[in-house]
Amino acid sequence: MVLSQSDQVIHTQIQFKADRKVVLCSFIYAENSYQARRVLWEDLSKHNSLARDKPWLILGDFNVALSLDDCSSGSSSLSIGMRDFYDCVKQLEILDIPCHGMHFTWNQKPREGIGVLKKLDRIMGNVHLLSLFPDGFAFFHPPRISDHTPCVFKSSSAHRPKPRPFKFPNFITSKPEFMPAVIQEWSNSVTGHTMFSVVTKMKNLKTTFRKILHKQGNLHERVSSLRKQLDHIQQQIDANPSDSCLRELQSSCLRDFQVAAYDEECFLKQKAKADWLSAGDANTSYFHKCVKSRNARSKISCIIDAHGNQFEGDDIPAVFVNHYTNFWVLRTK
């Protein structure tokens, strides 16, 4: 469904029939001059008020590079048009979808010389799009006879959950049952090499740590629930200032809320690996975005083996296994 359109962008809403997912999608065909493109950046900024809390996919020919790495040659500083584009991307809080294939999407074909290569075509999205399509990626094909590369957004139609390995959450070290469990397990005697003893005890502790983590429940829901509960109690105190029971209830709820908020933030900080930001800043929205963008960047969606064959999706793990199996066989011969 077309929502609005101009000479540089068509804003649409797409609904997938299979699972009823709804995505906002903007198709870009930007002007050549940076002055004319400023109308496009303004248009996208206005559309962001609608798309901010929804999955938003932005793709097409932006007619300007975003960074110096997007140009095969040229100036060593950002042009006015590149700065305008960068400011727009920063304001919209969007990022490049993980991509494979060709890096430079436009090639200049002069009558003489080798010409300039640039990345002018992009597929971008916001954090909500990455959450909706965690396996989504962009593929840029060779241009063949065109001066632009065809680009395709791909995503797995069915997401099959896989069992996740246990990852130690740092915040459980502050729980009262953590240290006694470690002391008790470390006092046990394990026959064998020292490192074997350490590994065995850590494996044995995994079950206890899982129970401690499970006992905490959903951290995000707990913080939200306690925040609402604290708001309600404080509103009651405002109406009944002399009620001592409400004051005690507020103190208890406040302690629980502060502990839960700290646990949530430490958990997100660990996942985002943003160690430079202290846990007291309470900037959880930043951590959420860091985690999602990092997961998107680190995901391998497409790979080419030693024989030049391309593999995607569930076929990727077998390619790695076969490669290192063959490598090990050659080394052992």
pLDDT in tens, 125-144: 999 998 888 888 999 998 88
Residues 71 and 27 in one domain: yes
Residue 87 has what pLDDT? 96
Is the same domain home to 81 and 175? no
7 shares its domain with 147: yes
Q: Structural domain of residue 238, as residue ranges?
A: 170-298
Give the span between the Cα atoms of 317 and 121, in whole angstroms: 30
15 forms beta bridges with 22
Establish if 51 belongs to a structural domain.
yes
Does any domain span residue 92?
A: yes
Note whether residue 163 is domain-resident. no
Report d(CA 51, CA 57) in Å as an integer: 10
Same domain, 121 and 241: no
Residue 19: the pLDDT is 81
CATH number where 107 lies: 3.60.10.10
User: Is residue 122 situated within a structural domain?
Assistant: yes
Q: Which helix (H) or strand (E) holds 70?
A: none
Are 21 and 44 contained in the same domain? yes
- For residues 36 and 62, membership in a common domain is answered with yes
What was the pLDDT predicted at 285?
Answer: 62
Both 121 and 211 in one domain: the answer is: no
pLDDT of residue 274: 45
**Residues 8 and 146 placed together within one structural domain of the fold:** yes
| Of residues 68, 95, 66, the one with CA closest to residue 83 | 66
Give Cα separations from 100 to 237, 302, 310, 330 (angstroms). 58, 7, 11, 29
User: In angstroms, rounded to a whole number, what is the distance separating the alpha carbons of residues 329 and 327?
Assistant: 6
With left for phi above 0 and alpha for psi between -120 and 50, is residue 28 left, alpha or beta? Answer: beta
The list of the chain residues with pLDDT below 70 reads 156-163, 273-297, 333
Per-residue pLDDT at 290:
66
**pLDDT score, position 278:** 47
Number of domains in the chain: 3
Residue 205: Cβ within 10 Å count: 18
